[in-house]
Structure 1
Amino acid sequence: MNAAELHKDAIVIDGLVCGKMNLELFQDMHKGGVTTASCTMAFWENFQGTVNNIAGVNKIIDENPEMLLKVRTTADIRRAKAEGKTGVLMSFQNTYAYEDQISYVQIFKELGVGIAQMCYNTQNLVGTGCYERDGGLSDFGREIMWEMNRVGVMCDLSHVGSKTSEEVILESKKPVCYSHCLPSGLKEHPRNKSDEELKFIADRGGFVGVTMFAPFLKNGINSTIEDYVEAIRYVFNIVGEDQIGIGTDFTQGQGQDFFEYLTHDKGYARRLTNFGKIINPKGIRTLGEFPNLTEALLKDGFSETQVRKIMGENWVRILGEVWGE
């Protein structure tokens, strides 16, 4: 089977997209043969702001039933594939939207939120992010985590501090993930994960989605799709072929205001970092170019079975373990 045929036949899952959630973005996903994308509904938005974001995306899904399908279960992912649609899985990059109400975890689960990152770069009520002195998981954070386990929401640790992450990995009753990260073995960065951290999560049944966000890649904005595949290979060699997938962190369609929001604590307070220019790796600049990744993985020497796992099958399995369906 050639690369184009394999991409068309495979389940393709992007474990993290935070582009501008409009029709154009979803059309490009569909063009790229993306079976399901985990779409960020919240960073620092509160409960009401997050509900508004979900309502906006629900409207797009409802108005385009021939192309889009809301994903709540792994059966929905397989249905999207069978019907040639793109599944929309809703997720958070922070637990801020839960505010101080444990019951909100179930409410958002019922609205379709199946993955939630415990912290976004800095401290919240749950724990600590990767840009701050890490105090670990709070006792309230443990209650949030246990409720996420109970209702079936995956704990994401991509932007979470190492101590908080370690405690979630050890104490969660369900598998947890780095939905979008890169190895610090290729580039030192507060957002990248050490070999030890990657092995630690994998050894305990966790999952690693590899991102292609250029500031975290070895060659920065000069990176190519080959640099991204090099990072996938690096992580693959640590965690193995069953606990790795894709989480691009595509910010397609977003303007400078969005990046200002992301790089300040609480979206407005102190500056945490400055990404500078954002350019996705040459060869996969847009979601519509997703087939190029299947081709690049095959070219690098991954087997057809391994490519299927990396491109989506591993995500389906691990989500099923968390969601219980």
Structure 2
Amino acid sequence: MIIVDAHCDTITKIMEDGTGLRKNNCHIDIERLKSIGNYVQFFAAFIDPSYCQAYPLKRALQIIDEFYSQIEANKDDIMTCRNYNDIEEAVKSGKIAAVLSIEGGEALQGDLGVLRMLYKLGVRSICLTWNYRNEIADGVKDESSGGGLTPFGRKVIKEMNELGMIIDLSHISKTGFWDVLECTSAPVIVSHSNAQKLCPHRRNLTDKQILAIKDNGGVIGVNLYPEFLNNSKEATLKDVINHIEYISSLVGPEHIGLGADFDGIESVPTGINGVQDIEKIFNELAKLNYSNENIEKFAGKNFLRVIQNVL
């Protein structure tokens, strides 16, 4: 079984802590990933709002540089993957497959040339907004204006489709969400968001949005942050399973995956202290009589389908 986690903030975390990717006290490190087996991890370059007004592109490049430094230092155990074939090669050679993404389209600074250069640097997915408005679209904290994709944002969608980059709709405003689905010619992902019906947080998806992701052929990554699971500071494995079951009941098992948000969240569900505990989710699904086939879809096959289709 191949596990795909569509979102973590571990690179930023180790930069803040002055540690490394080999072994640390974060939610994710190479030693724990290797102990699990076949693992595909999306590593996000998160553009914190404090950098957005001055030099968001420089911040993105700093994080990307750290990403490649860590890959090089641990090249016997992890490799950068730019497409599905690279992931197959990583799995075959017993290495962790690392996919580079950006969280926050501020990094583009309104320039399609920057987007193309980031692609050449290995970026394969962009979360178009964080919580706030940028040159591409409004984020969920700015959606009261009703703003969606800007004219530049529409050009970004077209260019990402042509380059072969995965569009990520976590954090975007509802109007922006619908604008993207109208514009894109490829499946999208919502890398780390849950079901609003179970937890009425603005970062979660309505039933209508979840159904639209199915129609698009995309995938939703279940987020492990308690506030997105039950709108409190504490959650359990049962809360995670509830969101998986709810989304599956709406759209079937082909459009849901894992987007843990490790090292980007302040707390985790009881008993899931890091990547070392991720298999507890799959084991619980097995206890609930989910078939091996459907567990494998949730664990990674659904995201792998989008990767194979888009990259």
- Give ranges in structure 1 of 5+ residues lacking alignment: 1-9, 253-258, 260-277
Q: CA deviation at 1:119?
A: 1.0
| Amino acid aligned to 2:281 | L
Residue-pair matches, total: 290
1:26 and 2:14 aligned: no
Mapped contact 1:217–1:228 kept (Cα < 8 A): yes
TM-score (norm 2): 0.89
Post-superposition Cα deviations, 1:209-255, rounded to whole Å, max 9, x if no partner, equal: 11111111126333111210111111111121212111111117xxx
- 3-state SS of the aligned residue for 2:155? helix
Mapped contact 1:35–1:77 kept (Cα < 8 A): no
- Partner residue of 2:232? 220
Looking at structure 1, the residues matched to 132 and 38 of structure 2 have their Cα atoms a distance apart, in angstroms, of 31
TM-score (norm 1): 0.85
- Partner residue of 1:12? 3
Q: CA deviation at 1:301?
A: 2.3
- Partner residue of 2:307? 319
- Partner residue of 2:43? 39
Post-superposition Cα deviations, 1:27-82, rounded to whole Å, max 9, x if no partner, equal: 23333436111111132452222112111111111111221111111112222222
Q: CA deviation at 1:117?
A: 1.0
Mapped contact 1:130–1:162 kept (Cα < 8 A): yes
- Give ranges in structure 2 of 5+ residues lacking alignment: 15-19
Q: CA deviation at 1:145?
A: 1.1
Looking at structure 1, the residues matched to 231 and 186 of structure 2 have their Cα atoms a distance apart, in angstroms, of 35
Mapped contact 2:104–2:128 kept (Cα < 8 A): yes
**Alignment equivalent of 2:61, drawn from 51, 61, 64:** 51
**Alignment equivalent of 1:112, drawn from 122, 139, 142:** 122
How do 1:83-162 and structure 2 match up within 5 A?
A: 83-132=93-142, 133=144, 134-162=146-174
| Amino acid aligned to 1:166 | W
Looking at structure 2, the residues matched to 118 and 176 of structure 1 have their Cα atoms a distance apart, in angstroms, of 11
Looking at structure 1, the residues matched to 38 and 203 of structure 2 have their Cα atoms a distance apart, in angstroms, of 26
**Alignment equivalent of 1:62, drawn from 72, 80, 89:** 72
Identity %: 27
